[in-house]
Structure 1
Amino acid sequence: MRVNRILLSTALVVVALVLQVSVLARLHLPGAVPDLLLLTVLGLALVYGHVGGALVGFGAGLLADLAPPADHAAGRYALVLCVIGYLAGLAKPDYGRLKSATGSMLVVVAAAIGSTLLYALVGALVGDTAARHVGLGGLLLTAALYDLLLAPFVVPGIMALARRAENDPLAEPGSVAKGTDISSGWLSSGTGLRLGGRRGGRGGRGGRGGLKAKARIRTARVGRIKGVKRL
């Protein structure tokens, strides 16, 4: 990954983790806890693609595994967010531009449900059955609901920061070239000049052709005048 991607991703992940642990986890909402870290990974994955999303997800999950008050095996949430970041990166929109809010909301809901299921599955494999006592159905419903309500305030801002860090916000490939073609066409139609010295320049072909044409006209006029004098 690029240096600017690493720095931005690290800063956003740390801020999201601090807010999630110190604020969202203390709200004591029924069911799941709003996963601000997951939404941060989704926003970055929708700009960086599947490879960047997997790397950011793994790093964010590993940081959450090691940060207190984590009470599960290290690497469990890292695996979950790595998979979610990879899959979300596959849904990366063209040029990082969201065509509609519906698609992004579906990605958020699918990520919330998928991360909860995958986290419970990995927990079952390592012998952690806490999800059974809490109720997996309630966790899925509340996780999707909380993340969906929080997503409009997080995901677009994360994507905007990521695009700005790329130094190419919402720029489509070839847009600069298209702008140049339009400007050159406007210049040629408005002034009779063409870029590249083809027409209207002193050193261009069009300039030399115009001079030759004028010289021929002058020669013809002189010949006619001399002919009249001879008569």
Structure 2
Amino acid sequence: MRLNRILLSTALVVVALVIQVSVLSRLHLPGAVPDLLLLTVLGLAMVYGHVGGALVGFGAGLLADLAPPADHAAGRYALVLCVIGYLAGLIKPETGQVKSATGPMAVVVAAALGSTLLYAGVGALVGDTAARHVGLPGLLISAAVYDLLLAPFVVPGIMALARRSEHDPLSETSAAKQATDISSGWLSSGTGLRIGGQRGTLGGLKTKARSRSTRVGRIKGVKRL
């Protein structure tokens, strides 16, 4: 990942994690907790692609695993967000911009359901059965509803910041200047002018050859006479 991506992703993930731990987790809403960290990963993944999304998801999940109060094994949420970030990056638009909100909202719902199921599945493998006691269907419905309500205020802004960081005015100016220099150099010493110069040179050589042959013919004619 490039430096601007790393800096922006780190800043957004840290801010999202602080809000997640200090505000959202203390609302005591029924069911799941609104997952601001998941929405941040989704917004970055839909601009950076599957590789960037997987890296951002892994880093964000690892920070969430280590941030207090952590009540699960380290690496569990990192695995979940890494997979979600990779899958979300696979549907990245070619231009990095979405034409309607239907696609991102569908991605948010699928990610909320998928991350909850994957988190519960990994917990079952390591012996954590908390999801069974709370009720998995209630967690799925509440997670999808909370994330869907929060997504319009988070995902578009994160995608806009990510797209803006991708377009560096200095790099674009230098690239345009380089293209201009290349084009001007191609025009000044291009193939067409070289061919023309070669044609002119060949024409001069032909003229000289003809004059030489004429002189030789004249000399031969004089000798014959």
Q: What is residue 145 of structure 1 aligned with on the other side?
A: 145
Cα distance per residue 1:69-128 (max 9 Å; x no partner)? 010000000000000000000011121111111111000000000000000000000000
- The one-letter amino acid of 1:89's match is G
TM-score (norm 2): 0.75
Structure 1: distance between partners of 2:168 and 2:154: 21
Secondary structure at the residue paired with 1:55? helix
- The one-letter amino acid of 1:152's match is P
Q: 1:57, CA displacement in angstroms?
A: 0.1
2:22 matched to 1:18?
no
Q: What is residue 106 of structure 1 aligned with on the other side?
A: 106
Q: What is residue 47 of structure 1 aligned with on the other side?
A: 47
Superposition pairs of residues 180-219 of structure 1, within 5 angstroms: none
Q: 1:167, CA displacement in angstroms?
A: 1.5
136-145 vs 159-168, which deviates more?
159-168
Structure 1: distance between partners of 2:135 and 2:94: 39
Gap regions ≥5 residues in structure 2: 170-175, 177-186, 189-225
Aligned length: 174
Q: What is residue 5 of structure 2 aligned with on the other side?
A: 5
Looking at both structures, which has the greater relative contact order when contacts are Cα pairs under 8 Å and sequence separation is at least 6?
A: 2
Secondary structure at the residue paired with 1:96? coil
Q: What is residue 155 of structure 2 aligned with on the other side?
A: 155
Alignment root-mean-square deviation, CA: 1.8
How has the CA–CA distance of structure 1 residues 25 and 127 changed in structure 2, closer, same or farther, with 3 Å as cutoff? same
Q: 1:45, CA displacement in angstroms?
A: 0.1
Q: What is residue 126 of structure 1 aligned with on the other side?
A: 126
Q: What is residue 38 of structure 1 aligned with on the other side?
A: 38
Q: 1:168, CA displacement in angstroms?
A: 5.9
Q: Percent identity?
A: 87
Q: Which has the higher helix share?
A: 2
- The one-letter amino acid of 2:163's match is R
Structure 1: distance between partners of 2:43 and 2:68: 24
Cα distance per residue 1:144-171 (max 9 Å; x no partner)? 00000000000000000001111169xx
Q: 1:30, CA displacement in angstroms?
A: 0.2
Q: What is residue 74 of structure 1 aligned with on the other side?
A: 74
- The one-letter amino acid of 1:97's match is Q
- The one-letter amino acid of 1:161's match is L
TM-score (norm 1): 0.73
